[in-house]
């Protein structure tokens, strides 16, 4: 039986240029994303999910807004790098009473809240150790910026191709939507330890930014034979975020997505090559 308090949502907030009130410029990414994060938290609290927020250096106004939520757990962030912050969130979430599933996601993904029951179910029914939500392709194409749909679709294909080439998939598999971001994790030390490891140090890149907690644990879980399951959901990218990334700061985000894809695919190649050493 599903109970909301079986689920802990683990999120990271960092919006130094957020301000209270109406949006003044669509180019202000912190304002756009901060508003969405507050909406995400409000919706999660309403549905009685447990929430861990790892926060550092957002504006004082944003932190004041966070403090108005009485039923969330705020953890002071110790590093601006994403992986150490996620480990903080995972550790804090794993200690919450009754938590059986930890869902890590970007807090701007508001519509994900509507799919938490479906995402958590395979873990609660012991069908999975890790669940990777997969975007419904039609909504992915329609609701995301055009360049993002193209770049993430291609990056997913290349990532999965490398995993298949190196025989990481032990059984019949469906392509995982690894670049979507959200992941559900069983609150079990054997699974969580994969996310606490730092399996690789690379001179050219820094896996502590993304891969060590977003990507590599999934690769290691697949390789070790843990149960990793896909679940397709009707996720919709927020309209205001699409507007921000399509019009307000388009060139910045095109370059950012490109750099992220190159970095993560390069880091995967290094990780896979280490398996054969």
* Pairing outcome for strands 73-76 and 50-55: parallel
SS3 content of the chain, % helix, strand, coil (to 5): 50, 15, 35
pLDDT reported for residue 277? 46
Q: What is the pTM of this model?
A: 0.93
- Tokens coding 213: 């907690």
pLDDT reported for residue 272? 87
Confidence tier at 199 by pLDDT (50, 70, 90) = low
Buried b (16+ CB within 10 A) or exposed e, 167-195: ebbeeeeeebbbbbbbbbbbbeeebbebb
Convert the pLDDT of each residue in 120-138 to its tens digit. Answer: 999 999 999 999 999 999 9
Task: Tell me how far apart the alpha carbons of residues 23 and 40 are, in angstroms, rounded to a whole number.
Answer: 17
Residue 276, judged by CB atoms within 10 A of its CB (0-12, 13-18, 19+), counts as exposed
At residue 172, does pLDDT exceed 70?
no
At residue 174, does pLDDT exceed 80?
no
Task: Tell me how far apart the alpha carbons of residues 225 and 128 are, in angstroms, rounded to a whole number.
Answer: 11
At residue 276, does pLDDT exceed 70?
no
- Count Cβ atoms below 10 Å from residue 41 Cβ, excluding itself: 25
Closest CA to 25 of 217, 243, 220: 243
Angle formed by the axes of helices 189-196 and 82-94, nearest 10°:
160
Closest CA to 90 of 43, 124, 54, 37: 54
Residue 251, judged by CB atoms within 10 A of its CB (0-12, 13-18, 19+), counts as exposed
Strand order in the sheet with 228-233: 73-76, 50-55, 7-13, 101-104, 183-186, 130-135, 228-233
The whole-number average pLDDT for the span 17-45 is 97
The whole-number average pLDDT for the span 237-249 is 93
CB 74 within 8 A of CB 55: yes
Q: Across-strand partners of 50?
A: 8
Q: Across-strand partners of 180?
A: none
Convert the pLDDT of each residue in 204-228 to its tens digit. Answer: 778 787 788 888 999 999 999 999 9
Convert the pLDDT of each residue in 82-117 to its tens digit. Answer: 899 999 999 999 999 999 999 999 999 999 999 999
The CATH code of the domain at 4-275 is 3.90.550.10
The whole-number average pLDDT for the span 39-63 is 97
Closest CA to 54 of 18, 20, 31, 79: 79
Task: Tell me how far apart the alpha carbons of residues 240 and 229 are, in angstroms, rounded to a whole number.
Answer: 31
């Amino acid at each position: 039986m599903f109970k909301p308090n079986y689920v802990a949502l683990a999120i990271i907030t960092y919006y130094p240029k957020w301000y209270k009130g109406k949006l003044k410029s669509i180019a202000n990414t912190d304002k756009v994303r901060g508003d969405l994060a507050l909406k995400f938290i409000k919706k999660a609290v309403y549905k009685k999910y447990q929430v861990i927020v790892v926060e550092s250096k957002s504006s004082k106004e944003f932190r004041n807004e966070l403090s108005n939520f009485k039923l969330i757990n705020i953890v002071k962030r110790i590093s601006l790098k994403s992986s150490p912050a996620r480990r903080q969130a995972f550790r804090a979430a794993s200690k919450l009473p009754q938590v059986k599933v930890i869902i890590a996601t970007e807090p701007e993904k508001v519509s994900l809240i509507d799919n938490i029951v479906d995402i958590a179910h395979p873990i609660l029914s012991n069908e999975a150790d890790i669940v990777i939500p997969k975007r419904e392709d039609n909504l992915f194409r329609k609701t995301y910026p055009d360049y993002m749909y193209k770049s993430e679709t291609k990056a997913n294909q290349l990532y999965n191709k490398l995993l298949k080439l190196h025989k990481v998939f032990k059984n019949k598999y469906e392509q995982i939507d690894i670049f979507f971001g959200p992941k559900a994790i069983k609150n079990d030390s054997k699974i969580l330890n994969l996310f606490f490891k730092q399996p690789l140090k690379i001179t050219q890149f820094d896996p502590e930014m993304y891969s060590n907690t977003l990507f590599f644990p999934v690769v290691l879980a697949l390789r070790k034979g843990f149960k990793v399951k896909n679940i397709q959901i009707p996720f919709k990218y927020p309209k205001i975020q699409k507007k921000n990334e399509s019009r307000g700061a388009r060139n910045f985000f095109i370059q950012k997505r490109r750099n992220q894809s190159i970095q993560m695919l390069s880091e995967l190649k290094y990780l896979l090559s280490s398996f054969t050493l």
